[in-house]
Structure 1
Amino acid sequence: MSRLGTRAGRLGRIGLSVVVGAAVGLGVHAVGHTSGFFLFAITGALAGALVAVGLDAYRRSARLTEVKVTVPQLSELTFVVNNDSRQVAWQLFVESVTRVSVQRLDDEDGVLREALTSLYGLFATTRETLKVSRPSTHVSVGMTVECLAVNFLNLELRPFLSRWHPRLRAFEEASPGRPETEWPLAADCRAELRLLQDHARDYLLAFARLAGVRDAEAMIDAPPGHRVRAVVQPRGSVGG
């Protein structure tokens, strides 16, 4: 667009603003000099318009969308989501995708203690997110976002942490100062961690789909240091 066209567009917007402002000013002046029946009629009309705008905004925020998601551990599931549950799914996705829960830990890299600590943090944060969120009372058929999150905690994170945290702690307490590579169960723990990460990836993709995130796989699988831009669909467009 040329500079002349840009300037003309700017002047047009300014002119429209002046006209609208003048109309509003005249309306306020007219209301201020109105009394009796006409004043009540104008006040009632304005109140009705405000109520209509509020109801429309509420309907948009409460609009339900049916989404089908496949989690191999749970088969294909049908969800009914609104903007509140999309926001919860987005928070859970962001919290998980930035942790070791889905980032590969090679045999020669990383520290298992740090991985387990990160998973404990994910467990606590997910639980806290669910505690402060409103339950999905609008769903009569299908699974809710919070139900999927609870399954992730109880079927995936809790069993892994309950199995490996005490064992690693026992090694650390019995052999203070010894490198983790000398732990006899290190290879087994890493193998189960990789399996947990595979399962966590399926849950994260489900959260991403419910939240309306595009290119979620690229975000999850991006190598360290690679910048990936997240794209979230507009509200109400989740599904398909």
Structure 2
Amino acid sequence: MTRVVRGRPGRALRVVVAALAGCGAGVALYGLSQVNSGYAFAIGGAVLGVFVVLGLDLYRRTARLTEVRITVPQLSELTFVVNNDAQQVAWQLFVETVTRTSTQQLRDDEGRIRESLTSLYGLFATTREILKASRPSTGAEGLTVESLAVTLLNREIRPFLSKWHPDLGEFEKTAPELPESAWPRAAECRADLRRVQANTREYVLAFARLAGVENPQIMLGA
């Protein structure tokens, strides 16, 4: 279950950014008043340009705040406050998770467990790369898009892979001529896989809400 509360565009934040930029520019221009006028205008223009760029960058990263309340498996309702950068990270995570076969439920008579395990490994690695490349964000009580992604990896995907990858690998090694359905633990693994897939889909929907995606259930085939 996900609820979104929009509309905290940050007028006060824009005022603060403008005030800080103006204050810094004023201090810089006052210092320049002590310099020969021949260089003052050139240097003053450069300093003012720097303040404008920094102010715009700060506004881009912090403005348009959106408050999102999310409930995911084994977690209570959480409240996130995301900005443009956080929404972009959430969008990347959503795209990666929604396009994986690991999020699609398999019946006992379809698909291969190995394919799903490989997909989960790929999702784990790709998520880590997205988090490493993104700029750390901040949120209320430490709740960020990144923390939600790490929770998905450590609470759902890592334990499942650690449990089943060695067992399936051992079967494939000792009986390479047998089909996967002959693995004695195939039914047990598929049942556990369905549980992880169901939980992962909830995280996918959470990433979609944080990114501002409308009707993400359609993309999931739900």
How far apart, CA to CA, are the structure 1 residues paired with 2:51 and 2:140?
A: 28
How far apart, CA to CA, are the structure 2 residues paired with 1:152 and 1:72?
A: 10
How far apart, CA to CA, are the structure 2 residues paired with 1:72 and 1:169?
A: 29
- Superposed, 1:40-79 pairs within 5 Å as 52=52, 55-56=55-56, 58-63=58-63, 64-79=65-80
How has the CA–CA distance of structure 1 residues 43 and 142 changed in structure 2, closer, same or farther, with 3 Å as cutoff? closer
How far apart, CA to CA, are the structure 1 residues paired with 2:183 and 2:169?
A: 11
Query: Which letter does structure 2 place at the counterpart of 1:181?
Result: S
**Contact 2:81–2:140 (8 Å) recurs in 1:** no
RMSD across aligned positions (CA)? 2.4
Match of 2:93?
92
How many residue pairs are counted as aligned between the two chains? 186
Match of 1:218?
218
How far apart, CA to CA, are the structure 2 residues paired with 1:142 and 1:62?
A: 16
Which of the two has higher C-alpha Rg? 1
How far apart, CA to CA, are the structure 1 residues paired with 2:56 and 2:110?
A: 53
Instruction: Report the alpha carbon displacement of residue 56 of structure 1 after superposing the two structures with TM.
Output: 4.2
SS of the aligned residue for 2:77 comes to: strand
- Superposed, 1:105-116 pairs within 5 Å as 105-116=106-117
Query: Which letter does structure 1 place at the counterpart of 2:173?
Result: E
How far apart, CA to CA, are the structure 2 residues paired with 1:196 and 1:43?
A: 59
**Contact 1:77–1:142 (8 Å) recurs in 2:** no
How has the CA–CA distance of structure 1 residues 53 and 175 changed in structure 2, closer, same or farther, with 3 Å as cutoff? closer
Instruction: Report the alpha carbon displacement of residue 99 of structure 1 after superposing the two structures with TM.
Output: 0.6
Match of 1:124?
125
- Superposed, 1:152-163 pairs within 5 Å as 152-163=152-163
| Over 2 Å off, 4+ runs | 40-58, 138-142
Query: Which letter does structure 2 place at the counterpart of 1:70?
Result: T
How far apart, CA to CA, are the structure 1 residues paired with 2:154 and 2:44?
A: 54
**Aligned residues: percent identity?**
58
How has the CA–CA distance of structure 1 residues 130 and 56 changed in structure 2, closer, same or farther, with 3 Å as cutoff? closer
How has the CA–CA distance of structure 1 residues 177 and 71 changed in structure 2, closer, same or farther, with 3 Å as cutoff? same
1:1-57 CA deviation, whole Å, 9 max, x = no partner?
Answer: xxxxxxxxxxxxxxxxxxxxxxxxxxxxxxxxxxxx9xx879968985885576346
What TM-score, normalized by structure 2, do the two folds share?
A: 0.74
SS of the aligned residue for 2:79 comes to: strand
Gaps of 5+ in 1: 1-36, 223-240
How has the CA–CA distance of structure 1 residues 173 and 161 changed in structure 2, closer, same or farther, with 3 Å as cutoff? same
1:178-214 CA deviation, whole Å, 9 max, x = no partner?
Answer: 1011111111111111111110011111111111111
Instruction: Report the alpha carbon displacement of residue 104 of structure 1 after superposing the two structures with TM.
Output: 1.4
Query: Which letter does structure 2 place at the counterpart of 1:80?
Result: V
Instruction: Report the alpha carbon displacement of residue 66 of structure 1 after superposing the two structures with TM.
Output: 2.1
Instruction: Report the alpha carbon displacement of residue 71 of structure 1 after superposing the two structures with TM.
Output: 1.0
Instruction: Report the alpha carbon displacement of residue 101 of structure 1 after superposing the two structures with TM.
Output: 2.1
Query: Which letter does structure 1 place at the counterpart of 2:144?
Result: T
How far apart, CA to CA, are the structure 2 residues paired with 1:54 and 1:129?
A: 25
Instruction: Report the alpha carbon displacement of residue 128 of structure 1 after superposing the two structures with TM.
Output: 1.2
**Contact 2:80–2:140 (8 Å) recurs in 1:** no
Instruction: Report the alpha carbon displacement of residue 100 of structure 1 after superposing the two structures with TM.
Output: 1.7
How far apart, CA to CA, are the structure 1 residues paired with 2:164 and 2:42?
A: 70
What TM-score, normalized by structure 1, do the two folds share?
A: 0.69
Instruction: Report the alpha carbon displacement of residue 146 of structure 1 after superposing the two structures with TM.
Output: 0.7
How far apart, CA to CA, are the structure 1 residues paired with 2:184 and 2:92?
A: 37
Instruction: Report the alpha carbon displacement of residue 60 of structure 1 after superposing the two structures with TM.
Output: 3.5
